[in-house]
Amino acid sequence: MTLRFFILSVLAGAYIAFASQGSTMAAHNLLANPDTFGLGRFVAGLVFPIGLMFVVITDGELFTGKMLLGDQLFKKSIRLIDMLRDWIYVYVGNFIGSLLIVFLIYYSNQLNFSNGMLKEVTIMIAVNKVSLTFLSAFCLGILCNWIVCLAVYMSRKTQDMTGKLLCCFFPICLFITSGFEHSVANMYYIPIGILAANGMMPELTWSAFFINNLLPVTLGNIAGGFVFVAMAYHYSEKQRY
């Protein structure tokens, strides 16, 4: 692993965390009200795509997008061990970048905005995520990265900046509005909720984060991107010739 690769992984994790933070800020008043929850998801979806735009335009290294390495694996231009190594390095880098933003946001006292409502919604989001069943989190992870990898796949097929930005915006807006689960985004959503709760929510623990959410969502993200995008389009392209 080169230093550049690691830096780009850390930065990509930070960019997705920025998007997670910004989307929560934009929508927290709506998310707090059951009558406007769906609208809140949509508002969050309007902001969150900025994170993937940062990643795509700056050549960031994002774990969920790295599932597209499956195409190179099937073409035998990369070894399985090399692909798995890249996945691990990017995952760790993304986690470090996400936690950097978590601690900066927490110690900035931003969570006290709206008379503490932002803090309440931040905790609510984290609790909802660690309360998912393993199967639910896994399926939501599949659905999420199917869409995310489609966004990256489409962005690679266009050369102009506007096209790349649009390819990022619409799919990511869809996945956030739908409430699907993104492992790297959850590296922000749940840790910031744990810090905000400060031990007041017994269900919000680091073990619950890793076991109840991050593990099944990561496995789902792998399946969604690797199987339904990398593998599917690799073999569909082969059938054209």
Supply the pLDDT for residue 1: 62
Which residues does the chain have with pLDDT short of 70?
1, 238-241
CA distance 48 to 64: 15
Residues 6+ apart with CB under 8 A from 81: none
Supply the pLDDT for residue 237: 77
Return the CA Rg of the chain: 17
Handedness of CA 51, 52, 55, 56 (dihedral sign): negative
Within the chain, what is the greatest distance between any pair of CA atoms? 61
Supply the pLDDT for residue 236: 84
Dig out the tokens for 216 from the structure.
Answer: 């099944």
Structural domain count, the chain: 1
3 closest CA partner among 93, 137, 120: 93
| Residues 120 and 197 sit within 8 Å (Cβ to Cβ) | no
Cα pseudo-dihedral 17, 20, 25, 27, rounded to 10: 180
Supply the pLDDT for residue 67: 97
Q: In terms of residue numbers, what domain contains 206?
A: 3-238
CATH number, residue 172: 1.20.1080.10
pTM equals 0.96
What three-state secondary structure class fits 127?
helix
CA distance 146 to 228: 6
Residue type, 82: D
Residues 6+ apart with CB under 8 A from 62: 9, 12, 13, 16, 52, 55, 90, 94, 184
Supply the pLDDT for residue 241: 52
Q: How far is CA 98 from CA 14, 39, 237, in A?
A: 5, 26, 35
Supply the pLDDT for residue 217: 98
Q: Residue 114 class from Cβ within 10 Å (0-12 exposed, 13-18 middle, 19+ buried)?
A: middle
